[in-house]
Amino acid sequence: MKLGKPKHEQNTKNYFAFRKDQNTFTLRILPPMGELAESGKWSVYHRVEFGHTGTDGRMKPFLSPRVVNYDGMVEVESQSHIRREQLKTKMEAAKASGDLATQEECNTLLRKYNQDAKHYMNAVDLQGNVGLFKIGHRGYQALKAEIDRIRKTDGVEPVGIENGRFFVFSRSGKGRDTVYTVQEYKQKQEMIGPNGDKIVADVTFNHSVDEKLLNKLETDAFELNKVYPTVTAEQEARIVNEGAVAVDEILGRKTQNKTETNSVSTFTQTETAPTPSVTNANQMQVNNEVVNVTTGEVTPQTTAQVETVIAPTNSVSGMSDEDFFKKIEQGDY
């Protein structure tokens, strides 16, 4: 009979993303793998809906079912998107009329029920930790530009199995003024100069997927097309309209002894996505920008900034999210 050693540590996964106190890190983007290996997709763009919780109080993010075709027509609408547009309209009306309580309530709900749009990919850091990396559209564009440069100048595939490259991701500024830069990582190496003196030079650092890393990918890498659970437009409508009970039924719930769920592992929300400001069908919100899905044109977000106010006590105070939404939808506010 074969015996094994007991393990008591939790099986946690690594997540790489810009945090509030982190403006630079170095990663190697890993090749296409798992179910996306044959298609060659090493990055997947996800629009994720946040804010909806089950009866256990846990937030259950899911992918937006909204579909906009290349002609700019909405093929599948999203109830979450419709609700955000209603809240935006009401917030602007409340701001214009001086209704501070309704304005603040709308602002709070827009922050809670937000959508976060990012590009997701598997990556490994210099210490050998494998994890899921997410970055906004401008950062992704900077990465693509550096990948294309390396492919053209060096004749190698920097996201390939062999001769892969690490990248230094950096950002500066805040909000719409945030600037992302991506540069190939170079190793410092001491060399003998032409005059026989010692010099320190930046040299290319090639990285290949070896057997050790391959074994690690089996447990630590992600199926990029399954980072978040998917829902149909009908299921999302139930989640939006019925609340926690529908969340449990559709996305699953945790019990004391086991997990009853049909969802997959999810990326924890660690940063608040900006309030969407997209109203045209051929546009989608991506981080602090608006991306035209037909032309690919990127423009800064233009949502009006709402000052934080202290709401006076009135009928809005203490109202549940569901009751407030009903008031909005019925036109009572």
| pLDDT digit string, tens, across residues 295-330 | 334 444 433 333 333 333 334 445 555 555 555 444
107's tokens: 């602002």
152 within domain boundaries: yes
What's the whole-number average pLDDT of the chain?
A: 80
Of 44-53, 91-100, 170-179, 321-330, the one with minimum mean pLDDT is 321-330
Give the separation between CA 140 and CA 46, rounded to whole angstroms: 13
Average of pLDDT values for 157-163? Answer: 96
190 within domain boundaries: yes
- Asked if 139 and 298 count as a contact pair (C-beta separation under 8 A), the reply is no
Q: Residue 289 pairs with which residues in a beta bridge?
A: 286, 300
- Asked if 269 and 60 count as a contact pair (C-beta separation under 8 A), the reply is no
72 within domain boundaries: no
| pLDDT digit string, tens, across residues 14-28 | 999 888 777 888 999
| pLDDT digit string, tens, across residues 185-244 | 998 877 777 777 777 777 889 999 999 999 999 999 999 999 999 999 999 999 999 999
- Asked if 88 and 109 count as a contact pair (C-beta separation under 8 A), the reply is no
Q: Which domain holds residue 164?
A: 13-44+114-228+276-302
Overall number of domains in the chain:
1
4 within domain boundaries: no
Of 146-150, 256-260, 263-267, the one with minimum mean pLDDT is 263-267
Residue 130 has pLDDT above 90, yes or no: yes
Whole-number pLDDT of residue 22:
78
Whole-number pLDDT of residue 189:
77
Q: Residue 291 pairs with which residues in a beta bridge?
A: 284, 298
CATH at 20: 3.90.198
Whole-number pLDDT of residue 320:
55
325 within domain boundaries: no
89 within domain boundaries: no
112 Cα distance to chain centroid? 15
CA angle 274, 276, 281 (to 5 degrees): 150
- Quick one: pLDDT band at residue 2, thresholds 50, 70, 90? low
Whole-number pLDDT of residue 290:
40
Across 169-183, 213-227, 257-271, which has the greatest mean pLDDT?
213-227
266's tokens: 């999810």
Please tell me the pTM assigned to this model: 0.73
85 within domain boundaries: no
**3 state SS for the chain:** CCCCCCCCCCCCCEEECCCCCCCEEEEEECCCCHHHCCCCCCCEEEEEECCCECCCCCECCEECCCEECCCCCEEECCHHHHHHHHHHHHHHHHHHHCCHHHHHHHHHHHHHCCEEEEEEEEEEECCCCEEEEEECHHHHHHHHHHHHHHHHHHCCCCCCCCCECEEEEEEECCHHHCEEEEEECEEEEEEECCCCCEEEEEEECCECCCHHHHHHHHHHCCCHHHCCCECCHHHHHHHHHHCHHHHHHHHCEECCCCEECCCCCCCCCCCCCCCCCCCCCCEEEECCEEEECCCCCEEECCCCCCCCCCCCCCCCCCCCHHHHHHHHHHCCC
Neighbours of 173 (CB within 10 A): 10
Average of pLDDT values for 37-51? Answer: 96
Whole-number pLDDT of residue 11:
60
Whole-number pLDDT of residue 255:
53
Polymer length of the chain: 333
Neighbours of 199 (CB within 10 A): 11
Residue 285 has pLDDT above 50, yes or no: no
105 within domain boundaries: no
Whole-number pLDDT of residue 9:
59
Whole-number pLDDT of residue 162:
94
Whole-number pLDDT of residue 186:
92
Q: How many CA within 13 A on the CB side of residue 138?
A: 19
Q: Residue 14 pairs with which residues in a beta bridge?
A: 131
Average of pLDDT values for 169-174? Answer: 90
204's tokens: 């290319």
